[in-house]
Amino acid sequence: MRAWHVEAPGPVTGHPLRLHPDDETPRPGPGELLLQVLACGVCRTDLHVTEGDLPPHQSGVTPGHEVVGEVAAVGEGDTAGFKPGDRAGAAWLRSTDNTCKFCRRDAENLCPASRYTGWDADGGYAEYMTVPAAYAHRLPPGYTDEELAPLLCAGIIGYRALQRAELPQNGRLGIYGFGGSAHLAAQVALARGATVHVLTRGEQAKKLARELGAASVGEADGMPPEPLDAAILFAPVGDLVLPALAALDRGGTLSIAGIHLTDIPPLNYERHLFQERQLRSVTSNTREDAREFLGFAASHKLKITVHPYPLDHADQAQRDLKAGRFDGAAVLIP
């Protein structure tokens, strides 16, 4: 099978990814599914793994954790009711120990033994991959494979970031950066009655924000036209933490959605944190987050902006992502 591997983490312009045309097709272990990959989203986290911002946990790992697949085979034991021919999704969270204090309190995203698709184990930049059945996802109807792929990380993480931001009913939300995850979180917020202000770079992203119903669209480091009840930072740029905090009203919360962020400049307590403003991180997601968000997607038709690339062009898709050459999300099609 064809599969990409991170052979030498470094700048994506230097070709750290290599396509192997004849990898052996993996076999599902106990409790695992073998998926024939139908579509795989290109997430910024994949780019961080490729470039070494997140050093790969497995040498030569195959990236990709927004995977829509067809079950080609099942391993022995409990496969959560999946059978060959079913459609299933694989996401970032691959496994947890199910025994630690975090798992026991329904915070499995904080499990110290957690493992991740495309970081600890091979992911979906390939024609086949395996996933533990207990961590595979049932997918909502009414979407193409290409549309479903970004839901499995961009959508789920955006949803968790929105929950962490504690946006009040009919509140005012600021979104900093407007890519694959942000354009989905914005639609959830709008469906809940929020006023959404988008601050981002790139004319395509600004145009998409307006089309989806943003009340205002401005530059990434600018100020929205009114104080915010909550904000989400999707861009991995620490410098933007300061203007986002300064834009918050009293008691507002800023959640940072990414797994990687450049350094945050010094904060001014009076301007950025006083009056009970909060700064929160987002770490992975729980399976319950995924169930809730995919349930929302089943009952609310989301507009998902995708840009398909052939599997053989995964490296170009990552270069285009880094350069901000598209709005929405890139999706690989084997």
Q: Residue 327 has what pLDDT?
A: 87
Q: Residue 74 has what pLDDT?
A: 98
Nearest to 57, CA basis, from 92, 28, 18: 92
CB within 8 A of 124, min separation 6: which ones? Answer: 35, 37, 40, 62, 63, 64, 65, 66, 67, 69, 90, 117, 118, 332
Q: Residue 25 has what pLDDT?
A: 98
Determine contact, residues 94/117, Cβ cutoff 8 Å: yes
Tokens of 130: 């395996």
Number of neighbouring beta carbons within 10 Å of residue 328: 21
Q: Residue 250 has what pLDDT?
A: 98
- What is the number of H-type helices and E-type strands within the chain? 9, 17
- Where residue 245 falls among pLDDT bands split at 50, 70, 90? very high
Is the confidence at residue 17, as pLDDT, over 90? yes
Place of tokens 């350069």: 323
Is the confidence at residue 247, as pLDDT, over 90? yes
Buried b (16+ CB within 10 A) or exposed e, 157-178: bbbbbbbbbebeeebbbbbbbb
Q: Residue 258 has what pLDDT?
A: 87
- Where residue 275 falls (left for φ over 0; alpha for ψ -120 to 50; beta otherwise) is left
Task: List, in order of start, the domains of the chain with CATH numbers.
Answer: 3-138+304-333 (3.90.180.10), 156-281 (3.40.50.720)
Q: Three-state SS for 173?
A: strand
Q: Residue 162 has what pLDDT?
A: 98
- Where residue 328 falls among pLDDT bands split at 50, 70, 90? confident
H-helix or E-strand spanning residue 298: helix 287-299
pTM of the model: 0.93
Number of neighbouring beta carbons within 10 Å of residue 225: 10
pLDDT, tens digit, 9 for 90 and up, residues 69-98:
999 999 999 999 999 999 999 999 999 999
Which residues partner with 332 through β-bridges? 40, 309
pLDDT, tens digit, 9 for 90 and up, residues 84-134:
999 999 999 999 999 999 999 999 999 999 999 999 999 999 999 999 999
pLDDT, tens digit, 9 for 90 and up, residues 25-67:
999 999 999 999 999 999 999 999 999 999 989 999 999 999 9
Maximum Cα–Cα distance across the chain: 59
Residue 238 CB burial class (10 angstroms; 0-12, 13-18, ≥19): middle
- Where residue 192 falls among pLDDT bands split at 50, 70, 90? very high
Which residues partner with 194 through β-bridges? none
Distance CA 204, CA 207 (A): 5
Place of tokens 């006083």: 274
Determine contact, residues 294/138, Cβ cutoff 8 Å: yes
Nearest to 58, CA basis, from 115, 12, 129: 115
Mean pLDDT score, 197-205? 94
Is the confidence at residue 187, as pLDDT, over 90? yes
Q: Residue 332 has what pLDDT?
A: 98
Place of tokens 């904000």: 231
* DSSP secondary structure letters along 181-209: THHHHHHHHHHTT-EEEEE-S-HHHHHHH
Q: Three-state SS for 316?
A: helix
What is the percent of the chain with per-residue pLDDT over 90, rounded to a whole number? 97
Query: Which has the minimum average pLDDT: 4-8, 54-58, 228-232, 274-278?
Result: 54-58
Q: Residue 47 has what pLDDT?
A: 96
